[in-house]
Amino acid sequence: MALQGGCACGSVRYTLTESPLIVHACHCRDCQRLTGSAFVINLWIEKKFVEALGAAPESFMLKGGSGAPHEVFFCGRCGTYVWSRYHPAPGDALFVRAGTLDDPQAVKPDVHIFTRSKLPWLALPKDTRAFESFYKIDEVWSDDSKQRMRWSRWR
């Protein structure tokens, strides 16, 4: 799967050369603020599989909800936020915003997280995997993804 995407003005373009490890719908307050919306859809993928084309995104360092650094990357021209890097997340990985894909239908969330701040009018489908905050990677990730990340190294 080689997905492509970019910012609203077209300066920042990227190709994902591998499928994501997992796709999160995150309902935390930071993601709500950053998107101006109810939640964000993030593709968790190793940095080496994200090929940035065109203009290099600029970045800004935020303090995440846990106090850990959260670096957000955005187009310097139009401000579209294309991905982030959560410093406590294992591996050298980026969280690419699915809304910036040329074909956002190509992915759907594997799991909804931080539903404790989910907006109350939003009802998730019944069979959705959802967690009040974060989850245990052991219990949620596919074996393939655990192996790809050599998860055993991080435990």
Alpha carbon distance 154, 16 (integer Å) = 24
Q: How many amino acids of this chain bind Zn ion (CB under 5 A)?
A: 9
Write the CB contacts of 126 (distance below 8 Å, at least 6 apart in sequence). none
Write the CB contacts of 34 (distance below 8 Å, at least 6 apart in sequence). 40, 72, 81, 84
Alpha carbon distance 79, 104 (integer Å) = 19
- Of 11, 15, 17, 35, the residue at the interface with Zn ion (CB under 5 A) is 11
- Residues 75-114 vs Zn ion: string with x where CB under 5 A? x-xx------------------------------------
- Residues 120-149 vs Zn ion: string with x where CB under 5 A? ------------------------------
Q: Is 43 in the site for Zn ion (CB under 5 A)?
A: no
Q: Is 3 in the site for Zn ion (CB under 5 A)?
A: no
Residue indicated by tokens 């970019």: 6
Which residues in this chain contact Zn ion in the complex, by CB under 5 A? 7, 9, 11, 26, 28, 31, 75, 77-78
